[in-house]
Amino acid sequence: MPNQSLDKFIFRKFILEPFSHASLLPGGELDWPKRANIIEGIAQGLLYLHRYSRVRVIHRDLKASNILLDGEWNPKISDFGLARIFTWNDAPANTKHIVGTGYISPEYAMKGHFSVKSDVFSYGILVLEILSGKRNTSTPDLDEALNLSGHAWKLWRSDSVVELMDPVLAGTCSAVEFSRCVHVALLCVQENPADRPTMLDVVSMLNNESTTLSAPNRPAYLLERFVMREDGQRVERRVNSSTNEITYSEMGAR
């Protein structure tokens, strides 16, 4: 594809000095109209796979590096190596446990259960990355060791979600439109698959401002699961959450 994969544009790093123009920043070529088009295009692509294709396709590996951009910056979902094809009467399936990539839903990662709602979860993570310019699994500058979805959730609850915005988009993106996209993404990354919208719902929410959005439940993952302490010990963080606070405790080394 002429513009390669999406991750090359939203995550890449540049040496900024002596320049500071936005086009040299990570994601600088992706202004808000392009990003909004990419978010919508990926949603439409998944909707086709889940609903309008001759057979139902669950991609199972949706991530920024698997989204190719054509010469008009339209997204194309690629790499169907892990995809599963179902007839319309097939129920959700099981597989072996897999190594998480940051886009994988909890029921898939921990129990091997996958369905169209697994793709919806991955889509929500991907949208948060497009909006923020940050990787879900690599967020050293975010407070409290929250991962991207946890950080977005915290900002949404404090009515300050625009702070998630990629600095490249500052002054060019409607706060209302941006906040709605974050809201939709948070609905997609809810822990219970039944609470997540279908891709048909997602397309409707993105295109119809009159559609009322329900309040999202907390994301499936709030914190990076494993972190390194200063002494080099690898520890697991366990999440304890309530309506008013998010805390964590360090578990034993592994």
Q: What is the CATH number of the domain that holds 97?
A: 1.10.510.10
60 and 158 belong to one structural domain: yes
Residue 54, pLDDT score: 83
Here the tokens at position 65 are 């590096």
Is pTM beyond 0.85? Reply is: no
Residue 156 located in a structural domain: yes
Here the tokens at position 116 are 């169209």
**Residue ranges making up the domain that contains 238:** 223-254
Name the nearest CA neighbour of 4 among 80, 82, 64, 83. 64
Here the tokens at position 17 are 């000095």
Residue 211 located in a structural domain: yes
34 and 143 belong to one structural domain: yes
Domain count, the chain: 2
Place of tokens 């977005």: 152
234 and 216 belong to one structural domain: no
Here the tokens at position 176 are 């209302």
Q: Could you say which of 7, 61, 119, 166 is catalytic? A: 61
68 and 37 belong to one structural domain: yes
Cβ-proximal residues to 93 (8 Å cutoff; 6+ apart), any chain: 84, 86, 113, 114, 115
187 and 237 belong to one structural domain: no
92 and 191 belong to one structural domain: yes
192 and 254 belong to one structural domain: no
215 and 230 belong to one structural domain: no
Mean pLDDT of 136-156: 77
For the stretch 7-52, pLDDT in tens is: 989 986 543 433 344 444 455 578 999 999 999 999 999 999 999 9
State the chain's maximal CA–CA distance in angstroms.
Answer: 59
pLDDT at 123 over 50: yes
Residue 25 located in a structural domain: yes
- Which pLDDT band, with edges at 50, 70 and 90, does 222 fall under? low
67 and 190 belong to one structural domain: yes
pLDDT at 118 over 70: yes
Q: Rounded to 5 degrees, what are φ and ψ at 156?
A: -65, -40
241 and 157 belong to one structural domain: no
Task: Give the 3-state secondary structure of residue 253.
Answer: strand
Mean pLDDT of 224-248: 43
Name the nearest CA neighbour of 74 among 100, 42, 47, 52. 42
Here the tokens at position 169 are 């988009």
The residue that leads in pLDDT, 3 or 218, is 218
Outline where DSSP puts E strands in 144-241: 226-228, 234-241
The full DSSP string for 57-119 is: EE-S---GGGEEE-TT--EEE---TT-EEE-TTPPPEE-------SSS-HHHHHH-EE-HHHH
Mean pLDDT of 79-105: 61
pLDDT at 206 over 60: yes
Share of the chain above pLDDT 90, in %: 48
Residue 1 located in a structural domain: no
- Which pLDDT band, with edges at 50, 70 and 90, does 227 fall under? very low
Cβ of 138: how many Cβ atoms within 10 Å? 13
pLDDT at 184 over 90: yes
147 and 254 belong to one structural domain: no
165 and 185 belong to one structural domain: yes
Place of tokens 């910056």: 73
61 catalytic, yes or no? yes
Residue 86 located in a structural domain: yes
When the pLDDT of each residue in the chain is averaged and rounded to a whole number, the result is: 78
Residue 2 located in a structural domain: no
Q: Would you call 243 exposed, middle or buried from its count of C-beta atoms within 10 A (0-12, 13-18, 19+)?
A: exposed
The residue that leads in pLDDT, 18 or 173, is 173
